[in-house]
Structure 1
């Protein structure tokens, strides 16, 4: 059994906001379940996640059990993002080689990515979302020096997130059929991200 890494990362955003990434835990289960099952959310893929826990019925306790699964079975590191102390995002950081994208031969196995969900029940400022995604890429490249690409795999129906990744200079490398969604696989290399960092910084000023 492989335990999860305990994660905490603090980011000071523009306009005086503080954003904290921290490991998701049992106390977050009800909030996360509310996000996963929000009526406006049609592309998250709740079913394959809760199926890892067991048969229905499902509810907040299912999320609690999901988060308690060992990292080697879960295949991701679940984190919650708090804006000025208020939970507004959930993410799952992963290595390509440990994900459903492992068989996609377009990028190095050391590529890192994240599944990102911003609170669908309450409007979060788009500029904040942009800053959070920028930090997710910075975080990946800082934490895993061997990773030569950062990847995102938003559902093609999630046009807002697809466009946001492209705004940040990520190129579409494939449309991938996964069991629970059709993913727009986007990527940016470590070199391109570094070379484009000044332009990217200007987007969040």
Structure 2
């Protein structure tokens, strides 16, 4: 006996809009990253930095980063974002819809759950509390940008101690671990309200 294919009308991934740009207040600002020019140079350069490559593993040629960002911009799964602090570029962020990500099915996600990947570009600006401040601003900014979203999640590598501490200090809760082919990740959740935590 075979079952009928699932209707697109009932597929959450088909009806939920793409990830939004976080609404950030000064001194933070966010804008969609472009796949060319200075934005591409910035992301490509940052991704070759040892402190980022150790966990992102995406020290790719410039041409591949062009394809990566252009692909994100053409789809509705991941939004590539550049974050400035006081007008100076600080971080590259990917905002994603969990239902369209490999994290889908790894926990009891809701259709509007949003996830974040974060890379602070310059090693000299890490370890100064900027990460936790940015993560808190991002979580609040994403919840503000999408009223239907009740939680923001992240899946940093379990071996990345500084990242785990920053997420915890920013109000994210460690609710479990997820195993991917390239890493074991800590599932971190920042709920809008306490009752929005995964059960």
TM bracket (short chain): 0.7 to 0.9
Matched, 1:46 2:58: yes
| In 2, Cα distance between equivalents of 1:92 and 1:77 | 6
Structure 1: unaligned runs, 5 residues or longer: 13-17, 48-57, 195-205
Classify the secondary structure of the residue corresponding to 1:107.
Answer: coil
Shift of 1:163: 1.2
TM-score normalised by structure 2 residue count? 0.76
Give the equivalent residue in structure 1 for 2:100. Answer: 98
- CA 1:6–1:100: 2 relative to 1, 3 Å: closer
Over 6 Å off, 4+ runs: none
1:35 maps to 46
State the TM-score, normalizing by the size of structure 1.
Answer: 0.74
User: What is the DSSP-based 3-state SS (H/G/I as helix, E as strand, rest coil) of the residue aligned with 1:145?
Assistant: coil
1:163 to 154, 165, 168: 165
For the structure 1 residues 11 and 191, does the alpha-carbon distance in structure 2 shift closer, same or farther, using more than 3 Å as the test?
same
Change (3 A) 1:61 1:74: farther
Deviations 1:11-46 (A, max 9, x none): 22xxxxx22111111221122112212123311131
Query: Is 1:24 the counterpart of 2:33 in the alignment?
Result: yes
Closer, same or farther: CA 72–61 of 1 in aligned 2, 3 Å: closer
Structure-2 change in CA distance of 1:87 and 1:173 (3 Å): same
Name 2:112's counterpart in structure 1. Answer: 110
Can you give the 5+ residue segments of structure 2 that lack an aligned partner in the other structure? 1-17
Q: Distance in 1 between matches of 2:19 and 2:155?
A: 23
- Structure-2 residue corresponding to 1:181: 183
Deviations 1:144-187 (A, max 9, x none): 22222211111112211111212233221221112332211111
**Structure-2 separation of matches of 1:80 and 1:122:** 18
Q: Greater CA deviation, 125-134 or 67-76?
A: 67-76
Contact kept? 1:88, 1:124, Cα under 8 Å: no
Q: How many equivalent pairs are there?
A: 176
What's the C-alpha RMSD, in Å, of the aligned pairs? 2.7
